[in-house]
Structure formats: C-alpha cells, structure tokens
Structure 1
Amino acid sequence: MGLFKTNPFGHILFIKKWLIRVLGAITHRRFRGFNELQIEGSEIIKDLPEKNVLFISNHQTYFADVVAMFHVFNASLSGRTDSIKNIGYLWNPKLNIYYVAAKETMKAGLLPKILAYVGSVSIERTWRSEGKDVKRQVKMSDISNIGKALDDGWVITFPQGTTTPFKPIRKGTAHIIKRYKPVVVPIVIDGFRRSFDKKGLRVKKKNILQSMEIKAPLDIDYDNETTEDIVKKIEYAIEQHPSFLKVIPEAELKAQAELDKLRKWKIDD
C-alpha cells in the first residue's frame, strides 16, 4: 500500500489504518472489560464478498454501535468466531468499511470529525435537522456516495435513522437496495443504550451485557420486490416490526426511556 494511497472519498488509507488501530485500542475495553459483548453469527462475516455488502441494523447510540461492528468484523476476518479477544486483529484492519451517518452529527466537534475520517458516508437527513422536523428532498449526491462506498467495500446503515426503537424504516434504504443490489446482512444489537450515553462516547454503567447477532443475508428479488416489500423484510430482520412490541410492551419501553433520563450514572475512570 502506497503511503499516500487514498480511497474513493480522498481519505489517505495509511492515516485511516492508524486511526482504526488507535481508536480500536482505546475502545476495546468498552466491549471486553467494562462491559461484555456477546456475539452470535460472526462466522457469516468471513464468507462475504469483498465489496457491495450492506449491513442493516437497529440503532441505539450514535457511535458505539458502529465501533463495536468495526471490532467484530475485523476480529472475524482475522479468524476469530464470536469473539474480540486479543486486539491483534486491529493491526491489519479492513479499510473499506463505511457507515452512513447524518452530516450534522459528524461535524459536531473534533472527535466526530476524526470518526468521520475512519469511514463515514455523511448524508443530509431529509426528515430532521438541528433537532427540528423538516421535509427535504433526497440529495442525489448522497445516494451516489453510498453507491460509491458499496462499490468499494462494505457499508453499515441504520435504516430507521434514529436511536429511538420501533420507529419506521426509511424507504431510502429500500431504494438503495433495489438500485445497487448489494448483499444485505441484518444485525440486531442490544444493551448499548443501557451501557453508554446517547452519543456512545461515555460509559454510563458497567457490567451490562451487550449483544450483537449477525444474521444470514436476506433473500431479495431486487427486480420484482417493491420497496414496501423490502421495508417489511428489513423490519422483521432487525426486529423492529411493530409485532415485536408484543414481546416488549411499548409502555414498558417508554417507562424505561423516562427512567434513563432521571438516572445519573457515575462516570468511572
């Protein structure tokens, strides 16, 4: 790899590699130390193609979800199964992993800008801006950038576009799937909103069992299935379809959210 070789977004791969190494070393204990990450299905990662893979997941924090996936993906590619033990896998990380994130989030401070360099495909949200509801047209350049990332490697996206559970799936994800025909791999995570603050930067409670289940790729008829069909598949695959509320009552989810607001967790060094 040339010292100044770049990816399609102009990021220097040598710098990106060292950022992943350093940030990975700093964050490792958040998933294997302060809290334990239970992984299921990571053997699927090793059999995926080098590019045009779209990971779809429910969303619980701004950054911790993605960081955990970077750990799991690289550990799996290094031969580990359902484990991130021994961070040697960070020495030669996969450099063509990207994640879709709101542009305003990735510009809010130095650390988000550094995390953006690691692999963000930053887009303008069409439904919310600066904490307010808005209605905007989708920017075709945003869609094209996601396609560019898929053409280069793997992309992580959170199709609900929010960390609030059981919100509707954004149809934009289905349009991307129909247009670029990627391998679509669902991921279901849990425990992150209990162990981290909303941004996923601060550990608010220790000894929380975090979980990540990687499921088999979805069977999608790209040409004949409608966007509505694909949206429904996504809802079930990432366990965010309203029927799952029968297992976890909506009232209980709201009560837990209100309780989390009132709690003041001790910040541990």
Structure 2
Amino acid sequence: MGLFKRNPFGHNLFMKRWLIRILGLMTHSRYKGFNSLQIEGSDIVRSLPENNVLFVSNHQTYFADVVAMLHVFYASLAGREDSIKNVGYLWNPKLNIYYVAAKETMSKSLLTRLLAYAGSISIERTWRADGKDVNRQVKMSDITNIGTALDDGWVITFPQGTTRPWKPLRKGTAHIIKNYKPIVVPVVIDGFRRSFDRKGLYIKKKGILQSIQIKEPLEIDYEKESVADIIEKLEYAIEQHPSFLKVIPQEELAAYEEDHRKREWRY
C-alpha cells in the first residue's frame, strides 16, 4: 500500500491502518480481559462480499458496541473462529469498514475525532441536536456518503438512533436498503450496557459476559417490500420488535430504566 493512498472520504489509509492497530491494542482487554466476549457468526462474516454489506444492530453504548464489532470482524476475517484471541489480526485489518454516527458526537473531543477517522460516517441527526428534540430534513449528502461507503465496503448502522432499547427504528435505514440494495446482516449485542458507561468509554463493571451474535443475511425483496415491511423485518431480526417485551419481566424492565436514567449522558 502506498503511503499516500486514500479512501473515498479522503482518509489516508496508511494512517488509518496504524490508528486501528493502536486503538485496537488499547481496547482489546475491554472485551477479553476485564470482561469476556461471546461471539457467534464468524463464518458468516467470512462469507460476505468485499462491499455493499450493511450490518444492522441494536445499540447499548455510544462507542463500545462498534469497537467490539470491529474487533470481531477483523478477527473473523483473519481466520479466528468466534474468538478475538491473539491480537495479531490487527496487523492487517479490513480498512473499508465504516459505521454511522452522529456528527455532533464524533466532534466532541480528540478521542472521538480519532474514532471518526478510523471509520465514521458522520451524519446530522434529524430528531436530536445538542440534547434537544428537533425536526429537520435529512441531508442528502449524508445519504450519499452512506451510499459511497457501501460502494467501497461494509457499513455498520444502529437504526434506533439511541442506546435505549425497544425504541422504533428510523425509516431512513429502510430507504437506504431499498435505494442501495445491500446485503443486510443483522447483529444482536448484549452485555455492553452492564459493563460500560453509556458512552462506552469507561468500564463500569468487570467480569461481565458480553455477546455479539451475527445472523444470516436477510432475504429482502428490494422492489416489492415497503419501508414498513423492511422496518418490521429489521425489528424482529435485531430483537427489538415490541413483541419481545412480552417475554421480559416488568421488574427487569423497571430496573433497567432506573439504571439507564442514572447513567444518562447530559450534553
């Protein structure tokens, strides 16, 4: 790789490779050390094409979720079987993996800017800004950037747009799916809100079992299925459909809401 080669967003790939290596080494023990990470679906990751893949996941922290997924993807592509053992997989990471994140979040500090350089597609949220509810139009440049990332490689998105569970999925994800026709891979995560603070930067509790389940790609009729159909299919796939609430004890839900309220990040 040349020293000056860049991706479609102008990021120097030599710098990005070393940034991923350094951040990967710094964060590895958060998932295999202080806590443990149970993985399912490494074989699915290895079966995917080089580009136009959209990973759709539930969300529990701002950063710990996506960093864990990147570890799992890099390790799976390097031949690890449902494991992130031996960080040698960081030496040659897949450089065209991107993740969708709020622009205001990714510009908060030097650390978030480094995380953004490692692969963020920063977008302006249409429903929230500076800790307040807003209602603004989707920026077409944001949609175009996601399409550019899909054309170049893989994209991770969290369609609920919040770390709170059971919230409705944003319709924009379904529009992107209908427009760009990617392979859609559901991911279900758990354990991150118990082990990290809401931002996912600080370890709150050690010895927690975290999990990442990568499911088989969804079968989607891009032409015939409506936005509502796709949204419902995604809700079931990432286990965030309202019907899942029926099998969770109310005491557990109440305890989670109280814990979440105490940890809420104020802007």
> Which letter maps to 1:212?
I
Give the 3-state SS of the residue equivalent to 1:163 in structure 2. Answer: coil
Distance 2:227 2:262 in 1: 40
Give the 3-state SS of the residue equivalent to 2:118 in structure 1. Answer: helix
Give the 3-state SS of the residue equivalent to 1:17 in structure 2. Answer: helix
Distance 1:8 1:120 in 2: 13
Give the 3-state SS of the residue equivalent to 1:72 in structure 2. Answer: helix
Q: CA deviation at 1:262?
A: 5.1
TM-score by length of 2: 0.96
Matched, 1:199 2:199: yes
Q: Hey, what does 2:252 align to over in structure 1?
A: 252
> Which letter maps to 1:201?
L
Q: How does 1:135-150 map to 2 (within 5 A)?
A: 135-150=135-150
List gaps (5 residues or longer) in structure 1.
264-269
TM-score by length of 1: 0.96
Q: CA deviation at 1:230?
A: 0.2
Give the 3-state SS of the residue equivalent to 1:54 in structure 2. Answer: strand
The C-alpha deviation readout for 1:141-171, integer Å capped at 9, x for no partner, is 0000000000000000000000000000000
Q: CA deviation at 1:255?
A: 2.3
> Which letter maps to 2:131?
G
Q: Hey, what does 1:19 align to over in structure 2?
A: 19
> Which letter maps to 1:17?
R
Q: Hey, what does 1:266 align to over in structure 2?
A: none
Q: Hey, what does 1:64 align to over in structure 2?
A: 64
The C-alpha deviation readout for 1:174-222, integer Å capped at 9, x for no partner, is 0000000000000000000000001101001000000000000000000
Q: Hey, what does 1:4 align to over in structure 2?
A: 4
Distance 1:138 1:259 in 2: 32
Q: Hey, what does 1:208 align to over in structure 2?
A: 208
Q: Hey, what does 2:124 align to over in structure 1?
A: 124
Q: How does 1:27-38 map to 2 (within 5 A)?
A: 27-38=27-38
Distance 1:198 1:24 in 2: 20
Give the 3-state SS of the residue equivalent to 1:212 in structure 2. Answer: strand
Give the 3-state SS of the residue equivalent to 1:29 in structure 2. Answer: helix
Q: Hey, what does 1:88 align to over in structure 2?
A: 88
Q: CA deviation at 1:251?
A: 5.3
Aligned length: 263
Structure 1 residues 262 and 142, CA, compared in 2 at 3 Å: closer, same or farther?
closer
Q: CA deviation at 1:253?
A: 1.9
Matched, 1:39 2:26: no
How high is the sequence identity, in percent, across the aligned residues?
A: 75
Q: How does 1:158-177 map to 2 (within 5 A)?
A: 158-177=158-177
> Which letter maps to 2:143?
I
Runs of 4+ with deviation above 4 angstroms: 260-263
Distance 1:234 1:166 in 2: 12
Distance 1:203 1:261 in 2: 18
Structure 1 residues 250 and 19, CA, compared in 2 at 3 Å: closer, same or farther?
farther
List gaps (5 residues or longer) in structure 2.
none
RMSD: 1.1
